[in-house]
Structure 1
Amino acid sequence: MIGAAMLAFEQIFSAPFRSVMWKALALTVALLAVLWIALQHVVLYLVVLPFPWLETAFSIVSGVGIVVGLAFFIAPVTSLFAGLFLDDVAEVVERTHYPADPPGRAMPLGRSVLTTLQFTGVVVLVNLVALPLVFLLGFGVIVFFVANGYLLGREYFELAALRFHSHETTRALRLRNSGRVFLSGLAIAAFLSVPLLNLFTPLFATAFMVHVQKRISARESGAGGVLAPA
């Protein structure tokens, strides 16, 4: 797993990834900026203070607080863009590291968008729960890592595996290797926790899970497992 993570990290800054990297970065930063502006306006609209200097001070403090809060929403934001870039990233990884294997097939756009939106909704809810726990009880960081480790591991593994297998086979493959998928998800959550670097999470997570999925599928096929085609 460490080797797969290192390969993914090295590749996200390589030449074949650059166009996708800049598009992912631009969309992520743009959406976070829109969220920050919207939340700032809502807070300032709801809170009325008697003195201009107090409003200015509150605006600065609330702006910084919203930036901190948005750090917890990088997970759902990056999940939202996962379906947009997965096939481009996966094709580069498969072509570079697994040229002898049959290429994967892109999911239909409608199914990819629906799957991504459903999953993003779940990630938003989980992070909405984790955020107050961080400030109120102090163990929200654990909730953040465990929940996002499970959710991100599940999402990115299934998106990578669905390029080769049916939904039924993909789910069975994930359940039989749930421990490894969860640990891989924790690695993605750790990457997600690094400021600035976390903006590249969709690229890292996709490339990483392509390697993980390939190795799991190869191991099961070699052990006599039955892997149904997509």
Structure 2
Amino acid sequence: MLIQSALAALRQTFSPPLRAILWKSLGLTLGILALAWFGLTRLIQWFQASHHISQSYPILDSLAYFLAGFGLFVALAYLMPAISILVAGFFLDDAAEIVERTDFPNDPPGRPMPWGSAMLYAMRFAGLTLLVNLAALVIFFVPVIGLAAFFAANAYLLSREYFEMAAARYRPLAEAGEMRRAFSGTTIAAGCLLAGMMVVPVLNLLTPLFGIALMVHVHKRLTHRLPAPALQGRLR
């Protein structure tokens, strides 16, 4: 079921109906990354100037710039999950509506979340994701454990955020959370797929749109798998 959903989401991501949203999503993601890069580089330059590294230790100055470049690359990679969630909040309803119309034309359409509520939810969860990933960044250089912590944390966070945002088009947010927990194996597996995308440069830029399409499919297929009474029983 998850493989079918992932293949359908990948097809949808590059399909003509979603192409305009894809370009907007890429543009917004790159814009936020550029702002983050600008802010971090200015912070590093201020730190170096304020501590007079260049005048006292020119070799260390060159080394600091080298490490800063690599460190910035790593830092931006750890920022991507939070940025992905924030960008997804902007385009959730437009993208989900297209997926519903093209792949589930016989199902009742979802109801868009109020834009303010959707963005507040996305920003709140993006902030939580940012804090968790900053904590994971602290142990980045610990062999195996650093990467494992990044993957495990984001598999959970991305599965929770993307599934609940998609499911909230069809049911109250509290019920969407209950459904996620009832089908935790499937939703976490979908989150592992998204977390895997996060560690691949360039491919991680597609995560917001792909994640929306994936979780719309996952929610739809889970809903179709069980009759309504059985589903309600699982959610209690």
Query: 8 Å contact 1:220–1:226 — kept in the other structure?
Result: no
Amino acid at match of 1:179: G
Aligned to 1:50: 55
Aligned to 2:17: 16
Structure-2 separation of matches of 1:167 and 1:11: 25
Structure-2 separation of matches of 1:206 and 1:12: 9
Amino acid at match of 2:25: A
Task: Provide, for residues 49-101 of structure 1, a one-character-per-residue CA deviation record: whole Å limited to 9, x for no partner.
Answer: 21796546643541332122211111111111111111111111111110000
Aligned residues: 227
TM-score, with normalisation over the residues of structure 1? Answer: 0.92
Q: From the superposition, tell whether residues 15 and 181 of structure 1 become closer, same or farther in structure 2 (CA, over 3 Å).
A: same
Aligned to 2:78: 72
Query: 8 Å contact 2:159–2:190 — kept in the other structure?
Result: yes
Structure-1 separation of matches of 2:178 and 2:26: 33
Query: 8 Å contact 2:154–2:191 — kept in the other structure?
Result: yes
Runs of 4 or more, structure 1, over 2 Å off, are: 51-61, 220-227
DSSP 3-state at the match of 1:194: coil
Query: 8 Å contact 2:194–2:207 — kept in the other structure?
Result: yes
Query: 8 Å contact 1:73–1:124 — kept in the other structure?
Result: yes
DSSP 3-state at the match of 2:131: helix
The reply on whether 1:35 has 2:36 as its aligned counterpart is: yes
Query: 8 Å contact 2:166–2:215 — kept in the other structure?
Result: yes
Query: 8 Å contact 1:12–1:21 — kept in the other structure?
Result: yes
Shift of 1:34: 1.0
Task: Provide, for residues 173-200 of structure 1, a one-character-per-residue CA deviation record: whole Å limited to 9, x for no partner.
Answer: 1111111111111111112221101001
Could you tell which deviates more after superposition, 97-106 or 135-144? Answer: 135-144
Aligned to 1:6: 7
Query: 8 Å contact 2:77–2:198 — kept in the other structure?
Result: no
User: Where do 5+ consecutive residues of structure 2 fail to align?
Assistant: none
Structure-2 separation of matches of 1:79 and 1:167: 16
RMSD: 1.8
Matched ranges for 1:132-147 at <5 A: 132-147=138-153
DSSP 3-state at the match of 1:169: helix
TM-score, with normalisation over the residues of structure 2? Answer: 0.90
The reply on whether 1:126 has 2:132 as its aligned counterpart is: yes
The reply on whether 1:207 has 2:213 as its aligned counterpart is: yes
User: Where do 5+ consecutive residues of structure 1 fail to align?
Assistant: none
Return the match for 1:173 from 176, 179, 201.
179
Could you tell which deviates more after superposition, 44-53 or 136-145? Answer: 44-53
DSSP 3-state at the match of 2:192: helix
Shift of 1:138: 3.9
